[in-house]
């Protein structure tokens, strides 16, 4: 790939490494043909220049999905690409149309769910990320489009994942061509579910795989002319029979043996089984169980799978009986007999197993023993019976076991094929070949020879296919390819299969001679092929031989070739099992022809396998092949481990490197003109600046560089091997010169910058020194000035100190003189003040003494005068007491006083009584609480009454006044007693007032509580009103549901014979109301009922009435079939239909055809699915009409006919009663008056709907949903083709490569506007159309919300499935387009756009993540919480691993973040969290009838004018009355 001239110092190359197979490094030295390469680890490798391969330093960090896109198509480049993608969990990679699948050894369910199948369905091959579904889809599309059968060849070594890949292919083909079966299970289900059965009996654990298929399988899936699966067949090849008897540690035998040993106890007891350790065929290895596999559960699952594929219980019991018999057969041991070369059953244990084997096979135990230890030889003279020695007896036992198991496996395959069924009329098939891969072990026996022979055949077919694909590519590009050499391996195939001198022919010849041994066979091979370059004789072995296969040399041990090639049908075994009492066992061994049953007949496994292989190749040659190469990345079967040597060997064995060699023989490097100019345009800038076509520009560049042998196709440049490296070397040279120019300029800049800095430093230093000198001079001047200042201040200080001393002395003298004068003055004033105080006290004492004497004299005078006055008053009283009149006056005065007190008591009593009554009226509920207080008040009242009565009685009993002195004394005593009684009454009155006051306070408290209770009562009343509203709405919904149930029951009746009988009855007559009488009278109804006694004259008016009704209906249908338009923003047709149906009372009749005719008219109008204007018109009409019906029709029998009024907000009892009475049936008689509603048509009345009306409502609802879905799907269909262009940024033209970036941006911007503006234009057109037809804003909002959700799903899924879309520049492109949609949402307003912008949250956050800078610095928490909170871990991982920056060369998130994402994904998969990273489009109807009724305003149907067609018709005069 790279010549010596192309590798220079500084080149990055790949060199061989003993540990990593290949390691990259940089060339640091070249000595002739030797180069010194420094690896990233610091190690220096010396190698020949011819063994170094150039490395593409500009390869994407995440690898390429198609290895034909690699700049250097060689072994290390392929290996590095696979390893890079495997590290990112990208397990699939293309090589042209060949798929390489690397086993991840972990579950990746998100890659195989239904969402992923939907994405790959119909997608162009190579458009999406590599996937096994893409291969399956390509095969299916080729079969459908070209009518030719296709085949998919899945190969790989054991553990590479062939079986799982085959399962996924069959699942996908079933998804594409499957159909739900009406009876039983479908073909594709049976094919898929036959896998567990075949795996149980044909798979086993090997060193490299826990579930290795030990047979080849070719599944033919047959399709009918419509592309539906119509049948299937399964073919198997070369079951590894020797595994039944011989296994090596740590492998296992076939799964079915271990499953049977783990069966339920009753089965184990029936078959007399036990632990696998007790059976010879199983205990040769120490491995009995598989990690994570429960054999007991698998046994039950296998039994269920057998049920599914059509194996009944009896056959299942027979199958496992045969399996158990094989286990028992293996435990039969032999010992030497009495005779020479004879043998007998060894012991009782062996005898027990012999008897169990005979019992399970339903044959005679003695016959079984004879068949194992004896042989019958038929000669012309006699029949000779001879015994076998123990060794031959064991061989006979093992031969029987292998034969029985092989026949059992073949029976299972035949049974599955019969159960699935084949389509004899099928014209095309898709075959899926799951075949063993190339094998090369330390010990390679006959099985490896056959397996490698198969792979040589398939490799020849593969080489031819690859060469054919190369030819097709060259022909498509119209280039000359006639001189390309084709690599073929026919010489190896001739060595193996050619007659008569091939290895298989020599093996069959040796097997037919009794005296032949493996040594004689090996010597025959040495002699025959001593000159064959593909055949090698090992030096140190006499029986081994080596064949040079396409994948490398393999040494075979011929020790057991002869034994394993022989497929004797032992006559004794055949006779024994043909005579079995079990029909199942007899069916495994049908009777042989008489001439072949007398002795053992030789049959060659090798020849039979060659014939099978020849048949398979004929089938494959008749089909269009597709290849899947499965690769096992490591031998420890663990994820995230990639062993380079192991993978390289498998790529060789799988023919991938051979295919690359074929490609290298032609033109291994292909580049589109754009990519070529983008990479190598800098080699000829003058070409880019010229106005050349891309193709011409590429050719000019190549010619200018002197390259020969290249080819220029229609769209690509084809380069020979090594030319890419040469161009890269020239490019590196140009870039190196440019780099040197840049370095020179940079060095000049750095030197000048250093000079400027030095000059600045010198100037700064000089400035500093000059400043320092100036500072010193300034310091000296400052010191001199400071000294002068100090001297001046010191002299001033001395002078001031002497002055202050003198001044202080003068002040002290002045102070002493002044203080002496002040003390003399103070002493004088003090004496004067003391004299004044003494005088004041003396005068005060004199005045106080005079006042006291005067006061005492006054008191004495007053006391004397008062005594005198008192004596005078006493005399007057004594005189008055002697008089009777005075006594009577006193008595009267006391009585008045008693009466006044009595009146006051009565007044208090009355006030208390009134207070109690008021309290009793206002607080009825609090009477119990106040009862005790009332009783206390009553007791106090009774006491007052008693006291009053006692006082009154005492007054009445008082004797009359007499003039005797004793009577006067008695009356005085009574007066005194009465006075005391009065005082007591006063005290009681005060007590009662206090009690009344306390009662008033209690009353106020209770009144406050009463107010609170009243408020609570009002709140409860409001809640009761709300509950009544809810109950009423629930009753209405319940009634609607009951009506719908009634509709469904009637539909069921109509489908039943009884319903048909009911339908055969005469229809009920429909009456039309006249303007004079709004209701139909009962007598008229009775007259209208079928009555055989009615005369013909009575029927004629009714007949004319029906005809008139039919005429009106015809006119209405004719009218609504036209576009009536809108009146005041309301659809005329819907309002017209509603008003007519309401007037004709069509909702209340049991039978009518008007509803069906309206539905048929609407259905006929929307037959044109792409007329959005018409669809919007009927969407508006149907939604309005459905809203009117929703608010009018009522299914319950007590439907109110009064106008609906708003519920009063009053919480009073009268309000609640009036609301409860609104729905009463007594008001039904006031619904109509002279043919119109009392409340007008603006208030809709509720009508008791019958079955036709409810059915009409359901049909109208279905039509509304249908029309909505048609408009939404039309919009999706219109924008769907544009979305493919919106997810990937358009490439700039070649001219923009050599011109300014501004022009490139302008071109990109123009391309951006072209695609995204197309979507915006489509959205505007639909919005304009729906608004012109007055579609409710609620429905418009839903249409655009679901459309934006569709855009989000399509863009986001395409972003995750196409790596070229996960780039920085593409993120900027999509972000700019999303800004256009955001602007549209803003212009459309929230009324019509709603939450449409929020539906784009996934693609918005994904694009936002693509265009952020410094992704490696972001933590997982920042990404999940701040940047992309909506995206799942699986989606973030997918974007992070697929991201590449084609603009600035930035990197994705750090490896730590990637590792954290993997951990979270593993936890999610363990927690059964859905791991799909794709979104699903929701095509359901996102609203209900309640949503529409809540969102739409009530339509005023009275304001709609009738159309001219109905305006002059008498039957529609009621429309004019309403409008008037």
Catalytic amino acids?
A: 158-159, 163, 209, 212-213, 437, 439
Contact 584, 472 (CB under 8 A): no
Residues 6+ apart with CB under 8 A from 124: none
DSSP class per residue in 349-381: HHHHHHHHHHHHHTS-HHHHHHHHHEEEEE-SS
Shortest CA distance to 661 belongs to which of 470, 476, 456? 470
Residue 179: how many other CB atoms lie within 10 Å: 14
DSSP state of 1444: B
> How many of the other CB atoms lie within 10 Å of CB of 782?
10
> Does 825 show up as a binding residue in the annotation?
no
Tell me: is residue 385 an annotated ligand-binding position.
no
Closest residue by Cα to residue 1391 from 1318, 1471, 1331? 1331
The encoded tokens of residue 1459 equal: 């590792």
DSSP-derived secondary structure letter, 1427:
I
Structure tokens that stand for 80 in this block: 């590095």
CB 1418 within 8 A of CB 1439: no
Neighbours of 1352 (CB within 10 A): 22
* Whether 229 contacts 178, CB under 8 Å: yes
Q: What is the DSSP letter of 1292?
A: P
Distance of CA 132 to the CA centre of its chain: 23
Nearest by Cα to 1436 from 1463, 1468, 1469, 1458: 1458
Q: 158 labelled as ligand-binding? A: yes
The beta strands (E) that lie in 123-227 are given as: 150-155, 203-204, 212-213, 216-223
DSSP state of 1454: -
| Three-state DSSP state, 1483 | coil
* DSSP state string for 881-940: HT-HHHHHHHHHHHHHHHHHHHHHHHHHHHHHHHHHHHHHHH-STTHHHHHHHHHHHHHH
**Binding site annotation covers 122?**
no
CB 414 within 8 Å of CB 133: no
Q: Write the CB contacts of 1352 (distance below 8 Å, at least 6 apart in sequence).
A: 1399, 1400, 1401, 1402, 1403, 1479
CA–CA distance, 288 with 291 (Å, rounded to integer):
10
DSSP, collapsed to helix, strand or coil, labels residue 387 as strand
Residue 1264: count other Cβ atoms within 10 Å of its Cβ. 23
Q: Do the strands 229-237 and 216-223 form a parallel or antiparallel pair, or are they unpaired?
A: antiparallel
CA-to-CA dists, residue 449 to 159, 499, 535, 545, 1245, angstroms: 19, 17, 13, 11, 91
Q: What angle do CA 108, 113, 116 make, to 5 degrees?
A: 100
List the strands of the sheet with 711-712, edge to edge.
669-672, 716-719, 711-712
Q: Determine contact, residues 571/586, Cβ cutoff 8 Å.
A: no
Q: Is 157 annotated as a binding residue?
A: yes
The annotation status of 1215 as a binding-site residue, yes or no, is: no
Residue whose structure tokens are 């000595």: 31
- Rounded distance, CA 1385 to CA 1301, Å? 32
Q: Which of 682, 291, 625 is nearest to 435 (CA)?
A: 625
Distance CA 1490, CA 834 (A): 111
- Look-up of token digits 């339509």: 1499
Residues 591, 582: Cα–Cα separation, whole Å: 14
Torsion region of 147: left, alpha or beta (phi above 0 gives left; psi -120 to 50 gives alpha)? left
Tokens 């190369």 correspond to 470
Rounded Cα gap, residues 950 and 956, in angstroms: 10
Annotated binding-site ranges:
156-163
Annotated binding-site ranges for ATP:
156-163
């Amino acid at each position: 790939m790279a010549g010596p001239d192309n590798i220079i110092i500084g080149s990055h190359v790949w060199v061989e490494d003993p540990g990593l197979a290949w390691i990259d490094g940089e060339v640091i030295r070249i000595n002739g043909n030797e180069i010194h390469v420094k690896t990233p680890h610091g190690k220096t490798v010396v190698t020949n220049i011819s063994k170094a391969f150039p490395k593409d330093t500009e390869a994407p960090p995440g690898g390429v999905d198609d290895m034909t896109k690699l700049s250097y198509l060689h072994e290390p480049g392929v290996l590095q690409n696979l390893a890079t993608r495997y590290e990112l969990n990208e397990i699939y990679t293309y090589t042209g149309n060949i798929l390489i699948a690397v086993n991840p050894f972990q579950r990746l369910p998100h890659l195989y769910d239904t969402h992923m199948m939907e994405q790959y369905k119909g997608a162009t091959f190579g458009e999406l990320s590599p996937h096994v579904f893409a291969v399956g889809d390509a095969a299916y599309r080729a079969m459908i489009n070209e009518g030719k059968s296709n085949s998919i060849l899945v190969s790989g070594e054991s553990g590479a994942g062939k079986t799982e890949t085959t399962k996924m292919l069959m699942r996908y083909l079933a998804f594409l061509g499957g159909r739900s079966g009406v009876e039983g299970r479908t073909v594709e289900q049976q094919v898929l579910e036959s896998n567990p059965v075949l795996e149980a009996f044909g798979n086993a654990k090997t060193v490299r795989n826990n579930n290795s298929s030990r047979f080849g399988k070719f599944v033919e899936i047959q399709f009918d002319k419509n592309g539906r699966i119509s049948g299937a067949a399964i073919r198997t090849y070369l079951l590894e029979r020797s595994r039944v008897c011989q296994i090596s540690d740590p492998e296992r035998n076939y799964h079915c043996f271990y499953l049977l040993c783990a069966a339920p106890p009753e089965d184990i007891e029936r078959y007399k089984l036990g632990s696998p350790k007790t059976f010879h065929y199983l205990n040769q290895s120490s491995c009995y169980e598989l990690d994570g596999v429960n054999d007991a559960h698998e046994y039950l699952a296998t039994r269920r799978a057998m049920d599914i594929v059509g194996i009944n219980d009896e056959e299942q019991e027979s199958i496992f009986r045969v399996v158990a018999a094989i286990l028992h057969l293996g435990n039969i041991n032999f010992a030497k007999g009495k005779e020479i070369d004879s043998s007998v059953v060894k012991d009782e244990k062996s005898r027990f197993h012999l008897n169990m084997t005979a019992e399970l096979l339903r044959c005679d135990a003695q016959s079984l023993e004879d068949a194992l230890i004896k042989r019958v030889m038929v000669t012309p003279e006699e029949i000779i019976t001879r015994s076998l020695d123990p060794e031959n007896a064991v061989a006979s036992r093992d031969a029987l076991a292998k034969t029985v198991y092989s026949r059992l496996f073949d029976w299972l395959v035949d049974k599955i094929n019969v159960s699935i069924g084949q389509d004899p009329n099928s014209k095309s098939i898709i075959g899926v070949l799951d075949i063993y891969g190339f094998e090369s072990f330390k010990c390679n026996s006959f099985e490896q020879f056959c397996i490698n022979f198969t792979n040589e055949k398939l490799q020849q077919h593969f080489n031819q296919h690859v060469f054919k694909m190369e030819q097709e590519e060259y022909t498509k590009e119209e280039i000359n390819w006639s001189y390309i050499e084709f690599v073929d391996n026919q010489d190896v195939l001739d060595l193996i299969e050619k007659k008569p001198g091939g290895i298989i022919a020599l093996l069959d010849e040796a097997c037919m001679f009794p005296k032949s041994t493996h040594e004689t066979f090996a010597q025959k091979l040495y002699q025959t092929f001593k000159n064959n370059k593909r055949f090698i004789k090992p030096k140190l072995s006499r029986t081994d031989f080596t064949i040079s296969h396409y994948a490398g040399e393999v040494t075979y041990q011929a020790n057991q070739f002869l034994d394993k090639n022989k497929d004797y049908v032992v006559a004794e075994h055949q006779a024994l099992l043909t005579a079995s009492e079990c029909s199942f066992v007899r069916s495994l061994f049908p009777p042989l022809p008489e001439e072949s049953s007398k002795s053992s007949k030789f049959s060659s496994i090798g020849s039979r396998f060659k014939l099978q292989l020849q048949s398979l190749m004929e089938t494959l040659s008749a089909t269009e092949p597709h290849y899947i190469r499965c690769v096992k990345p490591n031998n420890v079967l663990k994820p995230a481990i990639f062993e380079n040597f192991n993978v390289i060997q498998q790529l060789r064995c799988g023919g991938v490197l051979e295919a690359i060699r074929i490609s290298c023989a032609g033109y291994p490097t292909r580049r589109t003109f754009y990519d070529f100019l983008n990479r190598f345009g800098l080699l000829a800038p003058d070409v880019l600046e010229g106005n050349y076509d891309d193709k011409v520009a590429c050719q000019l560049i190549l010619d200018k560089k002197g390259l020969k042998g290249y080819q220029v196709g229609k769209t690509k440049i084809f380069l020979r091997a090594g030319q890419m490296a040469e161009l890269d070397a020239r490019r590196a040279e140009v870039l190196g010169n440019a780099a040197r120019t840049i370095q020179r300029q940079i060095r000049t800049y750095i030197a000048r910058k250093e000079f400027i800095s030095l000059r600045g430093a010198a100037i700064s230093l000089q400035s500093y020194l000059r400043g320092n000198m100036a500072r010193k001079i300034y310091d000296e001047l400052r010191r001199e000035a400071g000294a002068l200042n100090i001297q001046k201040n010191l002299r001033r200080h001395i002078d001031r100190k002497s002055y202050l001393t003198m001044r202080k002395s003068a002040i002290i003298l002045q102070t002493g003189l002044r203080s002496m004068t002040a003390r003399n003055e103070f002493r004088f004033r003090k004496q004067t003040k003391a004299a004044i105080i003494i005088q004041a006290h003396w005068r005060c004492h004199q005045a106080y003494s005079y006042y006291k004497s005067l006061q005492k004299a006054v008191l004495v005078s007053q006391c004397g005068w008062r005594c005198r006055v008192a004596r005078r008053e006493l005399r007057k009283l004594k005189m008055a007491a002697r008089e009777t009149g005075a006594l009577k006056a006193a008595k009267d005065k006391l009585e008045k006083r008693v009466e006044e007190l009595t009146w006051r008591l009565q007044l208090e009593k009355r006030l208390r009584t009134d207070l109690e009554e008021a309290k009793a009226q206002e607080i009825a509920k609090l009477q119990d609480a106040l009862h005790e207080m009332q009783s206390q008040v009553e007791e106090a009242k009774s006491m007052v009454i008693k006291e009053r009565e006692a006082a009154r009685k005492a007054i009445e009993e008082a004797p009359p006044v007499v003039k005797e002195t004793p009577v006067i004394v008695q009356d005085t005593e009574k007066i005194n007693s009465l006075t005391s009684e009065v005082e007591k009454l006063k005290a009681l009155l005060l007590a009662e007032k206090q009690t009344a006051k306390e009662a008033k306070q209690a009353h106020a408290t209770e009144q406050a509580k009463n107010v609170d209770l009243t408020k609570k009562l009002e709140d409860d009343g409001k809640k009761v009103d709300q509950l009544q509203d809810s109950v009423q709405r629930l009753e209405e919904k319940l009634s609607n549901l009951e009506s719908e149930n009634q509709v469904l029951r009637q539909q069921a009746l109509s489908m039943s014979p009884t319903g048909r009988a009911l339908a055969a009855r005469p229809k009920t007559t429909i009456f039309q109301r006249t303007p004079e009488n709004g209701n139909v009278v009962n007598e008229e109804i009775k007259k209208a009922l079928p009555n055989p006694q009615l005369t013909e004259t009575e029927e004629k008016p009714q007949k004319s009435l029906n005809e008139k009704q039919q005429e009106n209906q015809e006119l209405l249908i004719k009218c609504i079939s036209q576009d009536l338009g809108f009146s005041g923003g309301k659809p005329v047709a819907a309002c017209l239909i509603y008003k007519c149906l309401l007037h004709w009372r069509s909702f209340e009749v049991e039978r009518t055809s008007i509803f069906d005719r309206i539905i048929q008219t609407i259905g006929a109008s929307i037959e044109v699915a792409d007329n959005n204007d018409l669809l919007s018109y009927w969407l508006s009409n149907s939604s309005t009409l459905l809203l009117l019906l929703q608010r009018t029709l009522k299914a319950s029998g007590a439907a109110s006919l009064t106008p609906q009024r708003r519920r009063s907000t009053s919480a009073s009892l009268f309000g609640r009663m009036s609301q409860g009475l609104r729905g009463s049936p007594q008001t039904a008689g006031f619904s109509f008056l002279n043919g119109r509603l009392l409340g007008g048509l603006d208030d809709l009345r509720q009508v008791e709907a019958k079955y036709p009306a409810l059915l009409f409502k359901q049909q109208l609802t279905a039509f509304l949903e249908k029309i909505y879905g048609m408009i939404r799907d039309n919009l999706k269909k219109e924008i769907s083709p544009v979305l493919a262009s919106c997810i990937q940024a358009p490439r700039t033209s070649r001219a923009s490569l050599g011109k300014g970036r501004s022009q490139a941006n302008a071109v990109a911007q123009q391309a951006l506007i072209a695609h995204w503006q197309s979507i915006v234009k489509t959205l505007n057109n639909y919005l304009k159309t729906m608004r012109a037809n007055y579609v409710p804003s609620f429905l418009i909002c839903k249409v655009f919300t679901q459309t934006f959700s569709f855009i989000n799903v399509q863009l986001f899924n395409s972003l995750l499935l196409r790596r070229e879309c996960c780039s920085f520049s593409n993120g900027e492109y999509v972000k700019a387009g999303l800004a256009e949609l955001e602007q549209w949402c803003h212009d459309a307003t929230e009324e019509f756009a709603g939450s449409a912008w929020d539906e784009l949250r996934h693609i918005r956050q994904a694009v936002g993540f693509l265009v952020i800078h410094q992704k490696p610095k972001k933590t997982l928490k920042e990404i999940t919480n701040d940047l992309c909170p909506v995206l799942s871990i699986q989606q973030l991982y997918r974007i992070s691993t697929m991201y590449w920056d084609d603009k600035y060369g930035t990197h994705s998130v750090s490896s730590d973040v990637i590792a954290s994402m993997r951990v979270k994904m593993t936890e999610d998969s363990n927690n059964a969290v859905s791991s799909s990273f794709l979104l699903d489009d929701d095509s359901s109807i996102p609203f209900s009838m309640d949503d529409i009724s809540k969102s739409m305003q009530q339509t005023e149907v009275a304001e709609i004018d009738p159309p001219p067609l109905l305006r002059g018709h008498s039957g529609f005069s009621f429309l004019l009355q309403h409008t008037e």
